[in-house]
Amino acid sequence: MGRFDGRTVRYEPTSVKDLLVEMKDTAELLIDLSYSAVLHGSPTVAHEVVELEHRMDVLQLRARMSLMLAARNPNEAETLAPVLGVVGAAEKIADAAGDIAQIVTEEIGLPDAMRGALSAGVETLVRGTVAADSAYAGRTLKAIDLESVTGVRVIAVRRDEDWILNPGRDTQLRAGDVTLLRGPEGGVADVYPELSGEPFEPDPPAEPAIDDLERAVDSIVLMKNLSELAVDLAYGSVLFDNEELAEEVSNLEIEVDALQSRFEAWTLRAAAEADDPVSLRGLIHLGVATEEISDAALAITEGVRRDLDVHPVVEMAVQESDEIITRTEVAAGSDLDGAAVVDGVPATDISTSVLAIRRTGDEWLVGPDIDTTLRGGDVIISKGTRTSAEEFDALAA
């Protein structure tokens, strides 16, 4: 259930297009922050999840109000119904993210060994407030140039009650801004004190995991990655009215369901070996919420799968998008057959990022650190400009 903070929400004339874009960005950030809060046992990041969940509650209410006023006849109602579905699914994603954050806020907890296994290979995420005397205060992200120097990215900024969800190079940091930093631990250790004026305290090393717990963790990590991908593809399928992407969301949801069954089995086996089986409660909590995210992603695609017309307000949102998500099948003998993928980008001159690869037998390779060679028959989920997408399709044909 959504949780409100007691403030009254009233109708305000707002662009439904803008609300949809903000809900999409908020949902994706919520997923990211909720898992990071759990991996790092961070109450401060969990607090930001709760604040963002409140914001999503307000966004979905305003979107529903605007959509109700927009439906002036049966035809309008028919094209707006799928948009209402997208709004409802975004709220479910926010609720699931809030449930994940509860592992920290309600001190449900996770086994230390499990947190260590989860965080292996995962970038550090911290919440830091820009100090008044920080060298970064009053400067743009372009001028600071954090990412190229340290590998650390500012993924969001909260300024009073307002959020900057996709800070760009021209975004200026101000004293008092709450920033969310992500990057390698060494880079964060350099940036955090400079930004906040406080020392950086890394997570303590974790205990080694028991075998069955490691298998359960492997399952939940893959569930997490597939669910995040499903949300990306679901929004892409709606924004671009793409049935192929909607079909891939369905494939992902089936895979997550199968993974959850294996995850539950490994968790039960691990309970027999654990000194305190109750300590696995948070792990079960995490698995349930992760599966709910993939279910919500599938719900977002319902209008596309039922071949309902896309409302013009969605088309308006698409026209402002610089990047699109595409599904490409690699033909045997094509230019992409045998091409290497390094850091998510194929070894070609085209600026297209590979988000995931589905291989024959429904094996999924997901994440920005994919290091493999493309084969004929691979289905590639990628993100890039419209021009690069067309060129990428040509290489795969």
What's the confidence (pLDDT) of residue 369? 56
- In angstroms, the CA 389 to CA 386 distance is 5
- In angstroms, the CA 160 to CA 157 distance is 10
What are the b/e assignments for 300-333, b being 16+ CB within 10 Å? bbbbbeeebebbebbeebbeeeeebbbbbbbeee
Instruction: Give the CA distances from residue 39 to residues 109, 240, 313, 386, in Å, rounded to whole numbers and listed in that order.
Output: 10, 34, 38, 36
**pTM for this one?**
0.73
- In angstroms, the CA 276 to CA 303 distance is 46
Neighbours of 191 (CB within 10 A): 24
What's the confidence (pLDDT) of residue 298? 92
What's the confidence (pLDDT) of residue 385? 72
Instruction: Give the CA distances from residue 72 to residues 19, 37, 40, 68, 311, in Å, rounded to whole numbers and listed in that order.
Output: 20, 44, 49, 9, 13
What's the confidence (pLDDT) of residue 313? 67
What's the confidence (pLDDT) of residue 249? 92
What's the confidence (pLDDT) of residue 107? 78
Q: What are phi and psi of 370, to 5 degrees?
A: -60, 130
For the chain, the C-alpha Rg in angstroms (whole number) is 21
| Average confidence (pLDDT) per 10 residues, the chain, 397 residues | 51 71 85 83 86 89 83 76 85 92 82 58 78 93 84 87 83 92 86 91 61 72 85 83 88 90 82 74 86 92 81 63 75 84 61 77 69 84 74 79
8 Å CB contact between 3 and 54: yes
- In angstroms, the CA 67 to CA 84 distance is 8
